[in-house]
Amino acid sequence: SDSIDYAVMEKTADAVVVALDAGWNDVGSWTALRDVSAQDADGNAHHGDVIAIDCHNTYAYGERLIALVGLEDVIVVETDDAVMVGKSDRMQEIKQVVARIKAEGRPEATWHRKVYRPWGAYDSIDHGERFQVKRITVKPGATLSLQMHHHRAEHWIVVSGTAEVTRGDDVLLLTENQSTYIPLGVTHRLKNPGKLPLELIEVQSGSYLGEDDIVRFEDTYGRA
């Protein structure tokens, strides 16, 4: 939360200042982002699939369809994690929202729906009380840790690419539209032996689906 002035510049003796004749905008607010974006005749700046009816000086950003009707000086931001809507002159109060999220211990304060790992990424596309569905992407040549889970089983369905699956004492090679089942408590590992990204759908089921239910036995990236 510290600015670069306090966190860096006041603590270093190795800084150099060079005069520069150029425009500058640190885009430190949503209204500033709206102001530096391309706008229509009504002052609206929209990114993504946005339909605006009788709106003025609005900013909207999202992946899904956003429909705005009769709004003025409003900011709308839609992501996979959350949706934010507010008056443009009060957007600095988003800090209060973040503080409340942290105080209530909500996962949105520290986790995104899409999580990046050294081997690739996973996107939690659906979840319920005893299930979770992830879309997993593994980089070419990358390998997940050899691991097991105490509380969940997993189904893996290959969407594209080739998967080398270690399941207990067996090693399987799966390609598009093929799948395998990892029972609860069985050691397993996923590897992409190909030259193209591996994409698969993972369906988890069990009494506890937290990311800390992982026991790692071997890991290329040195994680505990």
* Distance between CA atoms of residues 57 and 210, nearest Å: 42
Q: Is the pLDDT of residue 206 over 80?
A: yes
Beta strand 59-61 with 74-78 is parallel
* Distance between CA atoms of residues 32 and 97, nearest Å: 20
What are 64-85's pLDDT values in tens digits? Answer: 999 999 999 999 999 988 999 9
Least confident of 14-18, 25-29, 67-71, 151-155: 25-29
Q: What is the DSSP letter of 98?
A: H
Q: Could you give the 3-state DSSP secondary structure of residue 26?
A: coil
Domain limits, the chain: 1-111, 114-218
| pLDDT computed for residue 198 by the predictor | 98
What are 50-66's pLDDT values in tens digits? Answer: 999 999 999 999 989 99
Q: What is the pTM (predicted TM-score) of this model? A: 0.71
| pLDDT computed for residue 63 by the predictor | 87
What are 106-134's pLDDT values in tens digits? Answer: 888 888 889 999 999 999 999 999 999 99
* Distance between CA atoms of residues 48 and 60, nearest Å: 8
In order of 16, 215, 218, the CA distances from 74 in angstroms are 40, 47, 50
Reading the block at residue 106, the tokens are 């909500």
Query: pLDDT band at residue 141, thresholds of 50, 70 and 90?
Result: very high
| pLDDT computed for residue 64 by the predictor | 92
Query: pLDDT band at residue 26, thresholds of 50, 70 and 90?
Result: confident
CATH tag for 114-218 (out of 2.60.120.10, 2.60.40.10, 3.30.1440.10, 3.30.420.130): 2.60.120.10
Beta bridge partners of 72: 56
* Distance between CA atoms of residues 12 and 10, nearest Å: 6
* Distance between CA atoms of residues 104 and 116, nearest Å: 25
Reading the block at residue 218, the tokens are 């071997």
